[in-house]
Amino acid sequence: MILVTGGAGFIGSNFVLDWLAQSDEPVLNLDVLTYAGNLENLASLQGDARHVFVQGDICDRALIDRLLAEHRPRAIVHFAAESHVDRSIHGPGAFMRTNIEGTYTLLEAARAHWSGLDDAAKAAFRFHHVSTDEVYGSLGASDPAFTETKAFEPNSPYSASKAASDHLVRAWFHTYGLPVVTTNCSNNYGPYHFPEKLIPLMIVNALASKPLPIYGDGQNVRDWLYVCDHASAIRAVLAGGRLGETYNIGGWNEKTNLEIVHTVCDLLDELKPDAAGSYRRLITYVKDRPGHDRRYAIDARKVERELGWRPAETFETGIRKTVQWYLDHPDWVAHVQSGAYRDWVSQNYAERQAD
């Protein structure tokens, strides 16, 4: 069994679905279900004994101790976080608590559990920390892409909190010998992406004929990876990554925000034409995000060279699948927009609640 934290969020739920599609090894999914946690993402696993869901907080040490003692997972894959940069600007407190204190709590619980294992189980144990390219800071137009040795220069409360968590994970390896690996990934996109982030927001706003807000001049660059490719990279690093190492994960797909929004509009024009004209008419420039990082770019050669990982999707195939997924899942979108997804857990899913 593996313990996944944050497995009801965007990337975590895609990872759990992918994991259980690839193997029969059960998943213990610990998620407190903030606004970003949505068990509807995992509806297809209802009744599947390989998926055990526990609603609980990664800051709750007693709960984590109990779960580790009871289920004895061979690995922890740690996704749980506050993840939205704009929210971190308006209210950084939750980011400090979950991303820093939560990671610290999990590391300490993992260390206590791991130190009680026999030598073989100790050697096999993994703490896989899922992190972001944003810890590296912002690049100029002609700077080389981020490598794993790039100094951390986080600029937002979100990225600063993730950078702190990456440092904690590193320290628990060097000081205590906890067998950790860390992945720093570029911007993900794909199914189940909460529509506060750029790509899903543009899709759902366009379908509702609402403005498509572009921050600043729209020329900020992000490096995009289809979420299932992130899941396959995590599997590869968990299986074969060297202890204490970090691996950058990315799709070699740098795009300006304006290019992204144009692509989304053009795909919608093709797949769901609007009588009022091209969806590009809805593009609206708005005030820039404070401290808005100009460019991220990931150099993923280390994971490619050491572990032979490659993304399966190009940006063109991945974005087409994504737009089609949102068109095919109006109920998921409607439940997220109305807030009904929050009732879903009590009505359909919760197998166990934390004390």
Q: Check 18, 57, 60, 134 and give the catalytic one.
A: 134
Site for ligand TDX in 273-312 (CB under 6 A): 289
Q: Which among 300, 199, 195, 211 has a CA at the least distance from the CA of 255? A: 199
DSSP string across 246-283: EEEE--S-EEEHHHHHHHHHHHHHHHS--TT--GGGGE
183 binds ligand TDX (CB under 6 A): no
Contact 173, 110 (CB under 8 A): no
Binding mask 132-171 for ligand TDX (x = CB under 6 A): x-x-------------------------------------
What Cα–Cα distance (Å) separates residue 114 from each residue in 98, 178, 250? 22, 8, 31
Which residue of the set 133, 166, 223, 254 is catalytic? 133
Catalytic: 48? no
341 labelled catalytic = no
Q: Is 233 in the site for ligand TDX (CB under 6 A)?
A: no
Binding at 71: pick from ligand NAD, ligand TDX, none (beta carbon under 5-8 Å per type): none
Contact set with ligand NAD (CB under 6 A): 5-6, 8-12, 31-34, 36-37, 57-59, 79-83, 98, 102, 130-132, 162, 185, 187-188, 194
Long-range contacts of 305-309 (CB under 8 A, 24+ apart): 306/240, 306/241, 306/242, 306/247, 307/236, 307/237, 307/240, 307/241, 307/247, 308/236, 309/232, 309/233, 309/236, 309/237, 309/249
Q: Of these, 99, 165, 257, 263, which contacts ligand TDX (CB under 6 A)?
A: 257
| Dihedral (CA of 102, 61, 55, 226) sign | positive
Strand 221-226, strand 254-256: pairing: antiparallel
Which one of ligand TDX, ligand NAD, none interacts with residue 17, CB within 5 to 8 A by kind?
Answer: none
Contacted entry of ligand NAD, ligand TDX, none for residue 34, CB cut-off 5 to 8 Å set by kind: ligand NAD
Check residue 312 and report its DSSP letter.
S
Which one, 83 or 105, has the nearer CB to ligand TDX? 83
Identify whether 166 is a catalytic site residue.
no
Query: Is residue 255 part of the contact set for ligand TDX (CB under 6 A)?
Result: no
Just list the catalytic residues.
133-134, 158
Which residues of this protein are in contact with ligand TDX, per CB under 6 A?
83-85, 132, 134, 187, 197-198, 201, 213-215, 220, 222, 257, 289
